[in-house]
């Protein structure tokens, strides 16, 4: 089985960053969360639970370091609160805009079908950029919201309207 903690410590060492006790405790916490999205307070609580004590200032410093090193993704799913999640080379969120429920498209499947990777890489190459990972957010309406008629309208018509204006 893929060991996320081991993978993280390997990357940290390969980047010549010191794996201090505080950093190791932080990485242990984020790789053992029972949900995909978590806040900094949840990370701090987890460290306290695991280690018995926590230095909050150093947590913020480590958070900053991991974000800078692209070892954590930050999401602002509701436009206000930031949540974090572990990195993955291919990440696609699909969000229901009506209830806010968030789905992950299966990373395993995305890895097998490299079409998107190839497409994005080809596009990025046009700007002389080589793709290292992608993270997408798609929006839609979930089954429940559609059934409850929360679904107000459909943005797919917008593009069409714009074209009509252009054609006039």
Contact positions toward Zn ion, by CB under 5 A?
36, 85, 96, 98-99, 142, 145
Looking at beta carbons only, is 8 or 25 nearer to Zn ion? Answer: 8
CB of 6 to Zn ion, least distance (A): 22
CB of 160 to Zn ion, least distance (A): 24
Nearer to Zn ion, 25 or 145 (CB): 145
Is the CB of 28 or the CB of 150 nearer to Zn ion?
Answer: 150
Shortest approach of Zn ion to residue 74 CB, angstroms? 11
Closest CB 41 distance from Zn ion, rounded Å: 18
Q: How many CA atoms within 13 Å lie on the side-chain side of 134?
A: 22
Q: Which is nearer to Zn ion, 66 or 85 (CB)?
A: 85
Helices (H), the chain: 4-14, 21-30, 40-51, 56-68, 107-112, 115-125, 143-147, 156-167
Instruction: Count other Cβ atoms within 10 Å, centred on residue 72.
Output: 22
């Amino acid at each position: 089985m893929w060991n996320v903690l081991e993978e993280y410590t390997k990357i940290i060492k390969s980047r010549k960053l010191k794996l201090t006790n505080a950093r190791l405790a932080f990485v242990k916490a984020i790789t053992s969360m029972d949900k995909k999205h978590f806040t900094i307070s949840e990370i701090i609580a987890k460290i306290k639970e695991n280690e018995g004590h926590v230095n909050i200032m150093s947590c913020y410093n480590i958070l900053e370091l991991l974000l800078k090193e692209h070892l954590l993704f930050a999401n602002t799913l509701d436009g206000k609160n930031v949540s974090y999640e572990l990195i993955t080379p291919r990440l696609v969120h699909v969000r229901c805009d009506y209830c806010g429920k968030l789905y992950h498209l299966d990373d395993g499947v995305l890895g097998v079908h490299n079409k998107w990777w190839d497409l994005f890489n080809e596009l990025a190459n046009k700007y002389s950029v080589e793709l290292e990972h992608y993270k997408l957010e798609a929006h839609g309406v979930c089954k429940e919201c559609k059934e409850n008629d929360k679904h107000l309208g459909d943005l797919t018509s917008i593009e069409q309207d714009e074209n009509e204006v252009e054609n006039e």
